[in-house]
């Protein structure tokens, strides 16, 4: 029998074995050497390359400062929202045709049709990144996040929201889509309200998502809060009353300004027609203009108290001087200046009560030009109020040298110059403060501003007392009376200049002070071109003053200064005087 052959055996210590082990060892040594080299000698360069691919500087979102009223009620705030951005290289690679259902859903969320979305993409072929939609509410942003589309990113942003909408629109204004102030106080105080965006270093994954925050480069700073002088309760009352009057009398426009006499802070400022600043489509130029600041008109008879003030200050008359206004008209140069009726002999207070053009014309002619214009200049006509409101007009009060007597006469009863409602309100606040003028303020003051005496206390106090008769029985502004409070004021009705003359359109005013015993508020109500049968200041503007003043004085806790007995006595006295005047006038 043959013996089985034993298989060939490889010797354990053959040359090939040692050669293989040597090669592997050299490989491991080389790898270890390379690793040591990279970790020690090249670590800084490699880390820099890695950081350049994965670490980015990312902005830290900040918000615009809130705007609040004097009592802390929020009037403007920034609402956190999202915007959706498209990374085009990623989208083109992953979804070349955009035909997935998820893209159709995305189109619906951003309020586009699938065709519009594809057209939007085709127009941006050369772009790397673009914003598809902005100001998305949390619900829409959540739906987009659930789609989980590659190359679609949600970024934090904010949008301005105005809780009081139309009521404070003209004063506060609005911002654009970039959150920069465009109108009103949003524009005036843009730098104050705008926050300072921060920056931080973040680590991104291959999808561009933040996986780690490395370092804060600069802290984000929220914009400063702005506290206004207005009282939102009074603002709402004023808005409703003015809007009602404008609609009732079919007027073109209107404005109302209320000033705190003690501080010269603006408590309310409204304009009609208004708009909703939360809606971009309603921000039309004809609606966004703040007529209280930008529009100027001839003030008509509301200027007569300043003619009387100048006459008292100059000493040409006193409170008891009698002026004969018969026969109800006066000729100055080539022009005849009429009164509505022949008022006969009037004292200085009677001139204001009856709103006599003849009376103030005679007072103006008794003074030299410098004395006559003193009160008009001192209360601020011809210059803006320095409120800082954008687009504020200074009106027109340019008195040329060697002006004619008729120009002087017409200026005495409110023609030949223009004022804004804000200027007129500030002027009446000077009368209410007994000759002290303070800077107008649209923001709440910690301490009242130091005022400057521009008119004498005696003359202004006398004029305020005279204006009280305007609101009482026999005056032109009886509809401005407020139960329980003594009111001083003046009506104004002026024809609008048109084509080198005057047309049939009117502007009407009522300017007043309350309460007389201790003046707290000065208010001007202005209505432009009332189209109803009632078109006088006493019929259109005076009732608005009464409504707003009545509610505001109670909100401000101003003590009534007229008890029922005094009110009855004054009414009876004025009624008796009215009957005597009627009898004297035939």
- DSSP, residue by residue, 140-170: HHHHHHHH--TTEEEEEEEEEE-TTGGGTHH
| CA–CA gap between residue 95 and residue 302 (Å, rounded) | 72
| CA–CA gap between residue 347 and residue 329 (Å, rounded) | 17
Active-site annotation holder among 301, 310, 355, 356? 301
The verdict on domain 232-278+288-584 having CATH code 3.90.76.10 is: no
Q: How far is CA 237 from CA 170, 232, 488, 546, in A?
A: 15, 9, 21, 12
Q: How far is CA 46 from CA 53, 201, 321, 507, in A?
A: 11, 18, 98, 78
Closest by CA to 171, choosing from 225, 260, 244, 231, is: 231
Look at the alpha carbons of 210, 211, 217, 220 in this order and tell me if their dihedral is positive or negative.
positive
The sheet carrying 198-204 orders its strands as 55-60, 198-204, 210-218
Q: Which CATH class is domain 58-87+102-227?
A: alpha beta
The residues spanned by each domain of the chain are 58-87+102-227, 232-278+288-584
Chunked in runs of 10, what are the mean pLDDT values of the chain (586 residues)? 55 72 84 77 67 60 88 92 84 77 84 85 80 85 85 85 94 90 93 76 60 60 90 97 96 96 96 92 87 94 96 94 94 90 93 94 95 95 92 91 91 94 97 96 91 95 95 91 95 85 89 95 96 89 96 95 57 43 34
φ, ψ for residue 23, nearest 5 deg? -65, -45
| CA–CA gap between residue 167 and residue 55 (Å, rounded) | 48
Cβ contacts of 405-408, under 8 Å, gap ≥ 24: 405/332, 405/333, 405/365, 406/332, 406/333, 406/334, 406/335, 408/364, 408/365, 408/369, 408/372
- What number of CA atoms fall less than 13 Å from residue 265's CA on the CB side? 18
pLDDT of residue 217: 59
Radius of gyration of the chain (CA): 38
Closest by CA to 118, choosing from 137, 138, 99, 142, is: 99
pLDDT of residue 40: 76
pLDDT of residue 53: 59
Whether 301 sits among the annotated catalytic residues: the reply is: yes
Q: What SS3 state is found at 317? A: coil
pLDDT of residue 576: 43
- Residue 184 CB contacts under 8 Å (≥ 6 apart), including other chains: 169, 170, 171, 172, 173, 174, 290, 389, 390
The whole model's pTM is what? 0.82
pLDDT of residue 570: 47
Our measurement of the distance from residue 500's CA atom to the centroid of its chain's CA atoms, rounded to an integer in Å, reads 34
Cα dihedral 199→205→206→208 (10° resolution): -40
């Amino acid at each position: 029998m043959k013996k089985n052959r034993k298989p060939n055996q490889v010797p354990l210590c053959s040359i090939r074995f040692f050669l293989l082990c040597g090669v592997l060892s050299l490989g491991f040594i080389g790898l270890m050497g390379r690793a040591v080299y990279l970790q020690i000698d090249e670590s800084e360069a490699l880390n820099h390359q890695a950081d350049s691919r994965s670490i980015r500087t990312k902005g830290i979102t900040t918000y615009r400062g809130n705007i609040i009223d004097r009592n802390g009620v929020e009037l403007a705030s920034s609402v956190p929202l999202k915007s959706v951005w498209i990374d085009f290289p990623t989208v083109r690679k992953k979804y070349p045709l955009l035909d997935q259902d998820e893209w159709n859903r995305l189109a619906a969320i951003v309020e586009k049709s699938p065709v519009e979305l594809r057209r939007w993409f085709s127009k941006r072929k050369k772009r790397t990144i673009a914003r598809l939609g902005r100001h998305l509410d949390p619900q829409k942003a959540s739906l987009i996040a659930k789609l989980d589309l590659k190359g679609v990113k949600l970024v934090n942003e904010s949008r301005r929201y105005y809780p009081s909408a139309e009521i404070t629109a003209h004063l506060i204004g609005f911002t654009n889509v970039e959150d920069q102030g465009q109108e009103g106080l949003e524009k005036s105080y843009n730098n104050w309200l705008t926050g300072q965006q921060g920056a931080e270093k973040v680590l991104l994954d291959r999808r561009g998502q933040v996986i780690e925050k490395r370092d804060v480069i600069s802290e984000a700073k929220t914009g400063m809060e702005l506290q206004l002088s207005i009282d939102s309760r009074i603002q709402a009352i004023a808005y409703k009353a003015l809007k009602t009057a404008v609609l009732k009398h079919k007027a073109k426009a209107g404005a109302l300004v209320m000033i705190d006499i003690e501080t010269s802070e603006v408590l309310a400022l409204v304009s009609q027609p208004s708009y909703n600043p939360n809606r971009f489509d309603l921000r039309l130029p004809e609606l966004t203009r703040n007529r209280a600041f930008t529009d100027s008109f001839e003030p008509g008879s509301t200027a007569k108290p300043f003619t009387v003030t100048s006459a008292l200050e100059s000493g040409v008359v006193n409170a008891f001087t009698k002026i004969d206004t018969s026969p109800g008209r006066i000729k100055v140069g080539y022009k005849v200046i009429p009164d509505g009726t022949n008022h006969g002999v009037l004292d200085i207070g009677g001139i204001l009560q009856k709103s006599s053009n003849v009376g103030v014309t005679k007072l103006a002619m008794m003074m030299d030009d410098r004395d006559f214009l003193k009160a008009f200049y001192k209360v601020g006509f011809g210059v803006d109020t320095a409120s800082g409101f954008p687009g504020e007009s200074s009106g027109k009060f340019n008195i040329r040298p060697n002006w004619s007597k008729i120009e002087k006469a017409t200026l005495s009863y409110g023609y030949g110059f223009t004022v804004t409602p804000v200027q007129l309100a500030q002027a009446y606040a000077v009368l209410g403060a007994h000759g002290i003028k303070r800077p107008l303020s649209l923001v709440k003051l910690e301490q009242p501003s130091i005022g400057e005496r521009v008119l004498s206390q005696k003359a202004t106090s006398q004029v305020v007392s005279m204006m009280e008769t305007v609101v009482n029985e026999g005056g032109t502004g009886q509809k401005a009376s407020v139960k329980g409070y003594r009111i001083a004021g003046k009506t104004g009705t002026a024809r609008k200049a048109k084509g080198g003359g005057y047309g049939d359109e009117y502007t009407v005013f009522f300017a007043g002070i309350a309460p007389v015993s201790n003046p707290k508020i000065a208010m001007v109500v202005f209505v432009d071109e009332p189209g109803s049968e009632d078109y006088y200041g006493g019929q259109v503007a005076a009732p608005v003053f009464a409504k707003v003043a009545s509610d505001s004085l109670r909100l401000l806790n101003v003590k009534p200064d007229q008890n029922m007995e005094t009110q009855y006595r004054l009414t009876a006295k004025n009624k008796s005087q009215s009957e005597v005047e009627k009898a004297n006038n035939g």
